[in-house]
């Protein structure tokens, strides 16, 4: 359940430690000197594993809700691109890495960046920052980031596109710094 915590699921980076930790627990339980305690440790681990599995299955719909609007993900991202194009947006500050990747692949006329500098596309950060200075940029996040948007902007300044994306047009540099974007200037 640790992986579902955090406003942007940063704990997923602990996943590489998951398999070695399971081996460590098994080895520790195998080397346990007291035989009666060994069975209790095993029972507790099984209960913990089963409850984690059940909680994960129940929480999946909250984290990744199914949208019954007959759109595919590609259509949703293309609709987002059309919305941004209609507002003369050329650069996107994405609050989720996945948004920036989808825009790069499916809407190539937009330049997108994430909060960190992308080592695979280092030029994109400077280009998007230039669009921000010219008021040709937008801040885009997923639906679950609405509280973050509401902490910075009024509700009437926020657009919801396809029940998935939240958009604020023409963000200011101070707001981007509050959101931990590493700007080129």
Distance CA 166, CA 160 (A): 5
Question: Nearest-CA neighbor of 95 among 156, 153, 18, 16?
Answer: 153
pTM: 0.65
The answer to whether residues 107 and 172 belong to one domain is yes
Confirm whether 39 is domain-assigned: yes
Confirm whether 183 is domain-assigned: no
The answer to whether residues 82 and 56 belong to one domain is no
Question: Nearest-CA neighbor of 115 among 182, 38, 33?
Answer: 182
pLDDT tens digits, residue range 37-60?
667 777 777 787 777 777 777 766
Q: Pick 163 or 3 by higher pLDDT.
A: 163
Q: Pick 92 or 23 by higher pLDDT.
A: 92
- Residue owning tokens 């596309």: 121
Range of the domain at 47: 2-63
């Amino acid at each position: 359940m640790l992986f579902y915590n955090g406003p942007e699921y940063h704990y997923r980076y602990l996943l590489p430690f998951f398999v070695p930790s399971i081996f460590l627990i098994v080895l520790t339980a195998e080397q346990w000197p007291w035989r009666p305690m060994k069975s209790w440790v095993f029972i507790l681990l099984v209960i913990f594993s089963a409850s984690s599995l059940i909680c994960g299955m129940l929480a999946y719909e909250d984290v990744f809700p199914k949208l019954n609007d007959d759109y595919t993900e590609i259509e949703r991202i293309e609709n987002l691109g059309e919305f941004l194009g209609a507002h003369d947006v050329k650069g996107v500050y994405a609050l989720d890495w996945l948004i920036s990747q989808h825009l790069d692949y499916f809407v190539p006329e937009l330049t997108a960046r994430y909060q960190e500098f992308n080592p695979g596309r280092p030029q994109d950060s400077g280009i998007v920052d230039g669009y921000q200075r010219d008021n040709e940029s937008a801040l885009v996040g997923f639906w679950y980031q609405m509280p973050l948007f509401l902490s910075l902007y009024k509700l009437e300044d926020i657009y919801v596109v396809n029940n998935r994306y939240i958009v604020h047009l023409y963000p200011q540099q101070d707001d981007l710094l509050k959101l931990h974007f590493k700007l080129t200037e």
